[in-house]
Amino acid sequence: MAASAFDTEITETAEALIGPWRQPRQMLQAQTYDAHASIHDDATAQKLGFKGGTIEGPTHFSQFAPLGERLWARAWFETGCLSAHYRSVCYEGEEVQAILSKPLPGTSQCQIQMVKRDGTEVLRGTASVGEPHAATALETRLGELKPLTDPVILRDVKVAQTSKRQPVRMAFDQSMGDLYPFSLRQKLTVITESSPYYSGADNPWHKPIIPMEMLSVLFQYRSKDDPLPARGPAVGLFADQEIRLVKGPLFVDEDYEVEREVIALSGSRRTESAWVKTRVFDKANTVVATMLLNMATLKESYAPYEEEYRRLYGAGR
């Protein structure tokens, strides 16, 4: 008999499962890419108008795990999916709460939301298990986006560009590189929802599994070994993210391969975005998980943006 997955206190209403208020920890203060600090560094974030270094988006996925497990049990760890649009940043010390609206009878997808104490919405999206019978939040969002016009930072990035296959693995004490300057063991000491499933073999699969928020780290940490041809240095942030387990869970200290494909380019007043689909393969070459990530690059963080825009397109934007 395996241990219980979580001891998280969950409030249940007729319409929803509601998690406790939590204060996620910021572990990316020392993150670097393109040889400069990131949006998670206080000084860099403040230059761009933020109060300080921001909590990385997938950190919030952990608060939904006990809700998904309460609703779908073992299926959550094997075929669970979170699809989220990040709506506002969260800073260390702020309290946030995860809310999962119960699915309609006969369906396996529902709405999710995370809010701060003052009601500010941090993210919204969908949670689901199993074969997709309805569009996820991000699949719907992709169909509504403005395509990228007059690109500067992403002018050399093309839809359908695909990376080389990269081997990846995550051990408890493994350094995950400049993008993720902490180990899984360090994360597990501060994760908002701890579970014996993450640290030992007392679970249905008899070996430790990787938390969903750390799947983002596993899939991304070698991305700079084969980067997109984006202009830089510039600062990016996760604007949308979907992690789907196809044949999960994924295990600590196990070998996988990842492959990335640009599936869309979009733009806004402040950002240029590359939407990248990551496919994850096990040793049998079976797809075991996917991730859809919108990395939005802030135009103002790329120093020659205005100069290059005028050179490429003539008039100012």
Residue 266 CB partners (closer than 8 Å, separation 6+):
145, 146, 147, 148, 273, 275, 294
What whole-number distance in Å separates Cα of residue 27 and Cα of residue 219? 17
pLDDT level of residue 46 (50, 70, 90 thresholds): very low
Q: Which of 30-44, 87-101, 106-120 has the lowest mean pLDDT?
A: 30-44
Q: Which of 114-118, 145-149, 214-218 has the lowest mean pLDDT?
A: 145-149
pLDDT level of residue 52 (50, 70, 90 thresholds): low
- What is the predicted pLDDT for the residue at 148? 95
Average pLDDT over residues 273-300: 97
For residue 125, give the H/E element and its range.
Answer: strand 121-129
What whole-number distance in Å separates Cα of residue 71 and Cα of residue 108? 10
What whole-number distance in Å separates Cα of residue 183 and Cα of residue 162? 28
What whole-number distance in Å separates Cα of residue 312 and Cα of residue 306? 10
| Residue 92 pLDDT greater than 90, yes or no | no
The pTM of the full predicted model, rounded to 2 decimals, is 0.92
pLDDT level of residue 37 (50, 70, 90 thresholds): very low
From the list 124, 26, 17, the residue with the least C-alpha distance to 76 is 17
pLDDT level of residue 210 (50, 70, 90 thresholds): very high
Phi, psi torsion values for 36, nearest 5 degrees: -140, 165
Average pLDDT over residues 145-152: 93
